Amino acid sequence: MQMTRRIVFVFLALVLALGGCQLDTGVKVIKMGHAQVVSHPVHQAMIFLGERLEEKSGGKIKVKVYPNQQLGTERELLELLQIGSLGMTKVSAASLEAFSPEISVLGLPYLFRDDAHTSQVLQGEIGKELLLSTEKYWLRGLCFYDAGKRSFYSKTKPIETPADLTGLKVRVQESKMAINMIRGMGGSPTPVSYGELYTALQQGIVDAAENNPPSFYNSRHYEVCKYYSIDEHTAIPDVVLVSTKVWSELSPEEQKWLQEAANESAVYQEGLWKEAVEEALREVQKAGVKISYPSKEPFFDKVSGVYEQVFKEQPQLEPLIKRIQQTTK
């Protein structure tokens, strides 16, 4: 299965080999791929980005969006960006840990105090620094998209305390931070790609997973998992990226248009996200999911070791973590 998927990926790379930004009858067309369904706020925000960029450029630049993993998983999309075969993508910040140790701190559990704190960090100087921290790997961050807060959903019982994670195989992203967090809480972290998670839950490869409400709903994971425990352990944002190969092909004015369009799409996506969260919680409840709001304190107490491990293994990140924690209005 893995070899077959790799062959398909190589084929897609060849299909896209003309580049992530093409000239089509005098119009520059930037290819943008992502893993979400078309009803997801991310896809709608990308369409908005394309519309704003086309308007700003007077029709000289367009964005063609490929949703639903048409061009590959998040990891594969990043690889396509690096070689310039794809122009833009959106990935979870967790997927960028291998390229930027600094971005990995966004995966720390309970890093942000509240939504206002999150906005102050990501929209301020720290956010700008993080977006550009992957440039040496041919990935330039343009903006952050709201990906909400991640909470646990499970098949057989609600996860009300860390003790409920004992013995459970919990799906995580391919993220060292996420693996350490689940292990610290007492669960058994099991990396599974997002596209394969529904089947993994059905077949018992994993017993539980964690994600935000819209992703839980749009993935239809609620059909398998009837318990959603909103502990909001992480608030890992999404990152909109452009290939530096494509970015360098744009004039300074075109780069300005693209950055502005991305920033405006982030504001638009934030509004869509809030609506999507409300809809998701309402719809999964209708489908029989039992939603609970456990105390966050026991979970928070269990993850102090994750911070200690980071300070020990990557001491250079401690000043950045302190800056984030101390950020105020």
* Reported confidence tier of residue 25, pLDDT bands at 50, 70, 90: confident
Looking at the predicted structure, is the pLDDT value of residue 10 above 50?
no
197: pLDDT strictly greater than 90: yes
pLDDT tens digit sequence for 265-297? 999 999 999 999 999 999 999 999 999 999 999
pLDDT of residue 39: 87
Q: pLDDT by residue (tens digit) across 104-153?
A: 999 999 999 999 999 999 999 999 999 999 999 999 999 999 999 999 99
Nearest to 61 by CA among 73, 50, 76: 50
Q: What is the pLDDT of residue 17?
A: 46
Spatial CA neighbour of 164 closest among 229, 234, 215, 232: 229
In the predicted model, is pLDDT for residue 255 greater than 60? yes
Q: Which of 182, 180, 172 is nearest to 309 (CA)?
A: 180
Q: How large is the average pLDDT for residues 48-64?
A: 97
Q: What is the mean pLDDT of residues 223-228?
A: 98
How large is the average pLDDT for residues 52-65? 97
Looking at the predicted structure, is the pLDDT value of residue 7 above 60?
A: no
Nearest-angstrom CA–CA distance, 279 and 273: 10
Residue 329 in this model has a pLDDT that exceeds 90: no
Q: Is residue 9's pLDDT more than 50?
A: no
Percent of the chain scoring above 90 in pLDDT: 84
Of the given ranges (6-20, 46-60, 189-203, 276-290), which has the lowest mean pLDDT?
A: 6-20
Q: Are the C-beta atoms of 290 and 158 separated by less than 8 Å?
A: yes
**Average pLDDT of the chain to the nearest whole number:** 92
Domains, the chain, ranges and CATH?
2-100+115-146+238-278 (3.40.190.170), 150-235+280-326 (3.40.190.170)
